[in-house]
Amino acid sequence: MRKILHADCDCFYAAVEMRDDPRLRDVPLAIGGSAERRGVVATCNYPARRYGIRSAMPTAHALRLCPGLTVLPPDFPRYRAVSEQIQAIFHELTPLVEPLSLDEAFLDVSGVTRFKGSATWMARWIKQEAIRRTGITVSVGVAPSKFLAKIASDWDKPDGLHVITPEEVDTFVASLPVNRLHGVGPANAAKLEAMNIRTCTDLRQWPLDKLLERFGKFGHRLYGLARGIDERPVKVERERKSVSAENTFHQDLPDLDACRAALPALIARLDERLDRHGRPRVRGLFVKVRFNDFTLTTLEYAGWQPDPARFLLLLEEAWARGARPVRLLGVGVRLATPDSTRQLELFGESN
């Protein structure tokens, strides 16, 4: 039986700021871009959350909810330094660490013999060492699978420790809302709601063939997760799937001509990033457009060269879907996986 931990720093960016300036501890605090530059909230502390402020919310809206909100710009070098200290703690326990971001990671501790092999004691040690060495509180979930460990880490936040034993999995999952399942976003959650499926118990009533009919191959995933099955391993090295460049504009781009004018600079930034990544093999191109009503559209093309002419065609077609002012524009490439690279070589294509 696997033993998986999910460690998640509580409101990480804000926690670093509060640690370094104790005057910020009890006031509503958000880390993000300024309202004047149309920024968004990256994270916020718990006093701010009581006002309904959350990550990815426009800073201007957050200030309307809480006029006294303190907004600080992110200091990523400082956050990375703290993250490296916390990641070092994880690696003292096990080499099987899968970082998800600066502030969270999965750990597979199945083979760890320290602490008499108790994953619960390991989780307590991580929490104690993190606060002792960095002053940052970490919530930890313990479970036999990744998706349950991630849910468990959020169960008793902040400064939480929640354990789901193998014997508790079936009962715990049965009452779980389906929108907590890994991979269930707003679109699938709405589809499940339309089917009167609200909990995993409801989901278990649907046979696999019907889920495949409604959700395609994701039906397999839903069928397994509803029964607590998640065999995904902890991956020490994460595979990069795309490289992109995007910009949120201080003022909306009013029309297609303005979008066309902004495209070359984005393509140049993308080209620089591809150089930094050693010119990886590409299997597709995409353009992302977010309109001023916050609707988002992405258009893709299966190509092997980041061709400016193709990006322009994608932009024109994507813009036509909304035909309104644009607040964000992005370009990017999908990277070839090992399987797709073998297929390219089979058919004689080169990057």
What is the number of other CB atoms lying within 10 angstroms of the CB of residue 16?
A: 24
pTM over 0.75: no
Q: pLDDT tens-digit profile of 278-325?
A: 788 888 999 999 998 888 899 998 877 778 888 999 999 999 999 999
User: Given a cut of 80, is residue 106 above it in pLDDT?
Assistant: yes
User: Angle, to 10 degrees, between the axis of helix 119-134 and the axis of helix 76-93?
Assistant: 140
CB 41 within 8 A of CB 141: no
Which residues is 300 bridged to in the sheet? 286
User: Given a cut of 80, is residue 123 above it in pLDDT?
Assistant: yes
CB 170 within 8 A of CB 228: yes
Domains and CATH numbers, the chain: 4-12+77-169 (3.30.70.270), 18-74 (3.40.1170.60), 181-225 (1.10.150.20), 242-346 (3.30.1490.100)
pLDDT band at 35 (very low <50, low <70, confident <90, very high): confident
pLDDT band at 82 (very low <50, low <70, confident <90, very high): very high
The Cβ-side half-sphere exposure at 220, using a 13 Å CA radius, reads: 4
Query: CA–CA separation, 69 vs 54, rounded Å?
Result: 12
**Secondary structure of the chain as H, E, C letters:** CCCEEEEEECCHHHHHHHHHCHHHCCCCEEEECCCCCCCEEEEECHHHHCCCCCCCCEHHHHHHHCCCCEEECCCHHHHHHHHHHHHHHHHHHCCCEEEEECCEEEEECCCCCHHHHCHHHHHHHHHHHHHHHHCCCEEEEEECCHHHHHHHHCCCCCCCEEECCHHHHHHHHHCCEHHHCCCCCHHHHHHHHHCCCCEHHHHHCCCHHHHHHHHCCHHHHHHHHCCCCCCCCCCCCCCCCEEEEEEEEEEEECCHHHHHHHHHHHHHHHHHHHHHCCCCCEEEEEEEEEECCCCEEEEEECCCCCCHHHHHHHHHHHHHHHCCCEEEEEEEEEECCHHHHHHHHHCCCCC
Binding-site residue numbers for Mg(2+) are 8, 103
Q: pLDDT tens-digit profile of 220-239?
A: 999 999 999 999 999 887 66
Query: CA–CA separation, 251 vs 228, rounded Å?
Result: 47
Which residues are the active-site residues? Answer: 104
Which pLDDT score, from 0 to 100, does residue 339 have?
53
User: Given a cut of 80, is residue 338 above it in pLDDT?
Assistant: no
pLDDT band at 162 (very low <50, low <70, confident <90, very high): very high
What is the number of other CB atoms lying within 10 angstroms of the CB of residue 312?
A: 16
CB 141 within 8 A of CB 3: no
Only one residue has tokens 């033993």, namely 3
In this prediction, residues 152-162 reach a mean pLDDT of: 93
User: Given a cut of 60, is residue 118 above it in pLDDT?
Assistant: yes
Which pLDDT score, from 0 to 100, does residue 345 have?
40
Which residues is 248 bridged to in the sheet? 328
